[in-house]
Structure 1
Amino acid sequence: MTHSASGSSIGRRSLLAGAGSVGAAAALAPVPASAAPRSADAAGAADAAGAAAVPAAGGGSGNASGNWPDPEPYGLADTRADLWPRDDNSFVLPLELRPRDEERGVVWMRDTYVNCFSVDGRPLYVATGTTRVPGLETASPWNDGIFVWTARSLRGPWKLADTTGIRPDAEKGKVWSPEFAGENRPGRTVVAPWQEYWHDDMFGKRANAWAPEVHYFRGRWYIVACMGDHSRLVGSFMLVSESGVEGPYRLVEGSLDKPFGDVVKGGPSFIEPGAYHHIDGSLYSEGDDAWLVLHNDLYAKFRDDMEDIVPATNLPRFEQQRYSPEPYLEGAYVFKHRGKYFLLHAAWDRASLDAYGSTRHAYEPGGAGRVQYQYDAVVAVADRFEGPYSRRWTAGVGAGHNNFFADAGGQLWATFFRNPNFGYWADPARIADAAVPGVVRLEWTGGPDGRIYVQRRRGRTAAD
């Protein structure tokens, strides 16, 4: 998560606990036809055509309808079709394919991250996310690390970062992996022992890198990411490049012995006691200062040398208005716009039937009759980084575990990936279009109480 003088970025990811009936979710909540996926070419053309009609994010309210009233009581999800990524406001990035991607024709990606930075006076777009290895359906129990793509325009062409001069025999674009442990040298650690591959009788090969973010801060490149549930230790770490965005990268001091933060309870039952730390690490920067943001309400300031956080444990918490009861949330991310701080989380909209037989959508813990439907982006706003934050609202349906960023022209965007594990996009009829590197245009509603939403259709009102 981040907003800095050279660009904006933030947040991300891992699997949410609990499964539901995909068929039941689809039956409970019909989906707008406009949410149907389309090809990257068609999406790119629609985006280019629509860009001229969209006011710049910093140049006005962006939508005459302003803020929409929230569903009541607090904690109900807003499922209106206007809050979906649609043909008129989103597209899938045409990232350069690796050999593993050619059969599918699009990069398989969760936790999509995209940002735009000013580097040497020119815009540079970066993209990354959680990917999988050939032969596996998901990014577990192991994957082969972190890939990065770059472009001069959001619409591309997107090319894999040129890592061939660093590792001529490795797959192009792979900037970090547990397999790089052999590059460790005294005083320079690329892969810590807790991040290395390991094996057991239950899963075989294990260790996976999740939810990477690329940041450009004070002229240096950083990657914040998470070792996933199948790693020896589960939690967030940070890398710093010794050259360009392609690397080579090494671990910062605070990631050498363990993940950032404290040991906490959580995660699947197969995680060993004491292994689970705070996940979904993100970086927020403002001026010459930077903070680490951790799952789901923790933060800590980085030391001036960016090698560790202060304090290292017992981290402070954001002040926010929680749901009652508070469900499991992910992907904490902070984005600053027009002097306001926006705190994002990923939350499962769970569908159920109320006492009158009507469909109820809510951000609540799992339970009998509650079916995972959409993995949403919920957002709150504050005047200070630490809070207090407002009540959360649904900013994007199915757009959870994302980041916000501004393109070179000032237009706001969010990423999305269509969660393939549960809910709407896990349906066998749609799974082929899940796990993609998507971006959706955003709008800011303006005024002192301005919100950020997925760009709604023009002329719509809360009653539509």
Structure 2
Amino acid sequence: MTRSENGTHFGRRSMLAGIAGTVGVAALPSATAQALPGEAALSAEAALPAEAAATKHHKHHPSNWPDPKPYGVADAREDLWPREDNSFVLPLQLRPRDKELGRVWMRDTYVNCFVVNGRPLYVATGTTRVPGLTAAGPWNDGLFVWTAPSLHGPWRLADTTGIRPGAERGKVWSPEFVGENRPGRTVVAPWQEYWYDDEFGKRGQAWAPELHYFRGKWYLVACMGDHSQKVGSFMLVSEGGVAGPYRLVEGNLEKPFGDSFIGGPSFIKPGAYHHIDGSLYSEGSDAWLVLHNHVYAKFRKDMEDIVPTTNLPAFKQTPYAPEPYLEGAYVFKHGGKYYLVHAAWDRTSANADGSTRYAYDVGGAGRTQYQYDAIVAVADHFEGPYSERWTAGVGAGHNNFFKDRDGDLWATFFRNPAFGYWADPSRSDDAAVAGVVRLEWTGPKGNRLYVRRQR
């Protein structure tokens, strides 16, 4: 639970149409954040230490499941799937582009709950696509935000009409807003603008946004994707409310966060690829940027850039052998522990006896992408060392964990439409959704978070 003087952060995606029942070394986060004076209106439960509040809600904790062996084998049991009894798809207000599909097409679903002016405010965002394209690339038209007073809605597009009269409601940032740049105020940097080439035509896409309320301001962390001039994570700060207007922070005027390295698809020019999938973790009055799948950096006090360092510090993790490609890193604190969440492809292959092997293997011949899972590790400290990972949610990769206004735990999911189970034509109509699924905590002894399993 992260506190600030302006509110409390209670907590980064049809079969499930119904509503289920009622993530340096210096100055690392302290074990328990202290309440600040502006929080006097919060409930008594919200003021409890995290573990005490959690125990109040869960007097009888479920047990950890034995880990599949060897380390790296995936747990594909249906108990760990988002199902009709533990999850639902958010009824987000439709934009004109959504009318034909009848819902919002979304990847990398992000949902969170914050207290603003004494009231809970739920926010939702994610990666969306433009009409006429089947994916969010090679270009999309920016970032949309929805808000609600309750997790069950009503979910309304953020009211941007006072900022851009006549423009599409809810769109808080886009490369097309480059005309709003002014001396001393950059909305779209040159490296974020649309561009064109012979292979892909129009190019430039924004990925995986997260919206955070920290020290009384709204911060939106996102990533320019593979078809952009430079690929990597950036941050916007609102000069108003949740709807904006947003501007780019100083540290991203020339490039994404971190240093460039060789990575990404072969069509990305050398030097253009930086750490992707940026996420923000805050505790007390400090904040950290979590990047790609293994590194982090502390933000400056003014939140305009990360603290300079020669090499970004890396989380102390327990990798698989060999370690496959992971992405979507997110840190979440609960019960006094730090949970590091990643997205990993569960790939199927054949065991010697002919049975199916499910594992977080490196891609290769005979290994087929099956589900895009959420895998989690736990630690006593933000930087680690983190435990061995476990499967927390099947098909729930590239998500975030959060607490609702009552302190109950949730994760997002989106059902990856690109490959695997949800790419099958018989299921693709139910892929790319803004979904949320209940989580369960195995208590201070088990210290695991799972998708709520069947009883």
Cα distance change on mapping 1:62 and 1:380 into 2, 3 Å: farther
Q: What is the match of residue 134 of structure 1?
A: 131
Q: What is the match of residue 15 of structure 2?
A: 37
1:386-437, Cα deviation, whole Å (9 max, x unpaired): 0000000000000000000000000000000000000000000000000000
Structure 2 alignment gaps of length 5 or more = 23-52
**Equivalences for 1:179-218 in 2 at 5 Å?**
179-218=176-215
1:360-409, Cα deviation, whole Å (9 max, x unpaired): 01001101100000000000000000000000000000000000000000
Q: What is the match of residue 307 of structure 2?
A: 310
Q: Does 1:342 align with 2:339?
A: yes
CA distance in 1, matches of 2:354, 2:79: 25
CA distance in 2, matches of 1:65, 1:406: 19
2:150 is paired with a residue whose SS is coil
The count of corresponding residues between Structure 1 and Structure 2 is: 422
Q: What is the match of residue 20 of structure 1?
A: none
Q: What is the match of residue 74 of structure 1?
A: 71
- Out of 402, 423, 426, the residue aligned to residue 426 of structure 1 is 423
Q: Which amino acid aligns with 2:21?
A: D
Q: What is the match of residue 7 of structure 1?
A: 9
CA distance in 2, matches of 1:351, 1:4: 42
- Out of 2, 6, 21, the residue aligned to residue 47 of structure 1 is 21
Checking the alignment, whether the CA contact within 8 Å between 2:63 and 2:446 is kept in structure 1 is no
1:308-358, Cα deviation, whole Å (9 max, x unpaired): 001255100000000000000010000000110000000000000011111
Q: Which amino acid aligns with 1:431?
A: S
Q: Does 1:123 align with 2:133?
A: no
Q: What is the match of residue 37 of structure 2?
A: none
Q: Which amino acid aligns with 1:358?
A: S
CA distance in 2, matches of 1:313, 1:301: 13
Checking the alignment, whether the CA contact within 8 Å between 1:162 and 1:173 is kept in structure 2 is yes
Checking the alignment, whether the CA contact within 8 Å between 1:115 and 1:125 is kept in structure 2 is yes
- Out of 397, 404, 407, the residue aligned to residue 410 of structure 1 is 407
CA distance in 2, matches of 1:166, 1:57: 40
CA distance in 1, matches of 2:278, 2:11: 12
CA distance in 2, matches of 1:341, 1:415: 18
Checking the alignment, whether the CA contact within 8 Å between 1:406 and 1:413 is kept in structure 2 is yes
2:238 is paired with a residue whose SS is strand
- Out of 368, 390, 394, the residue aligned to residue 393 of structure 1 is 390
Checking the alignment, whether the CA contact within 8 Å between 2:376 and 2:389 is kept in structure 1 is yes
Q: Percent identity of the aligned residues? A: 75
TM-score by length of 2: 0.91
Q: What is the match of residue 25 of structure 2?
A: none
Q: What is the match of residue 223 of structure 2?
A: 226
CA distance in 1, matches of 2:238, 2:123: 15
Cα distance change on mapping 1:4 and 1:82 into 2, 3 Å: farther
- Out of 360, 377, 382, the residue aligned to residue 380 of structure 1 is 377
TM-score by length of 1: 0.89
Q: Which amino acid aligns with 1:196?
A: E
RMSD of aligned C-alpha atoms? Answer: 1.4
- Out of 147, 152, 157, the residue aligned to residue 155 of structure 1 is 152
Checking the alignment, whether the CA contact within 8 Å between 2:16 and 2:83 is kept in structure 1 is no
1:38-90, Cα deviation, whole Å (9 max, x unpaired): 32xxx22x333xxxxxxx85535476541110001000000111100001000
By how many angstroms is 1:97 displaced?
Answer: 0.1
Checking the alignment, whether the CA contact within 8 Å between 2:159 and 2:243 is kept in structure 1 is yes
Structure number with greater CO (CA < 8 Å, separation at least 6) is 1
1:202-259, Cα deviation, whole Å (9 max, x unpaired): 1110000000000000000000000000000000000000010000000001111000
CA distance in 2, matches of 1:184, 1:96: 29
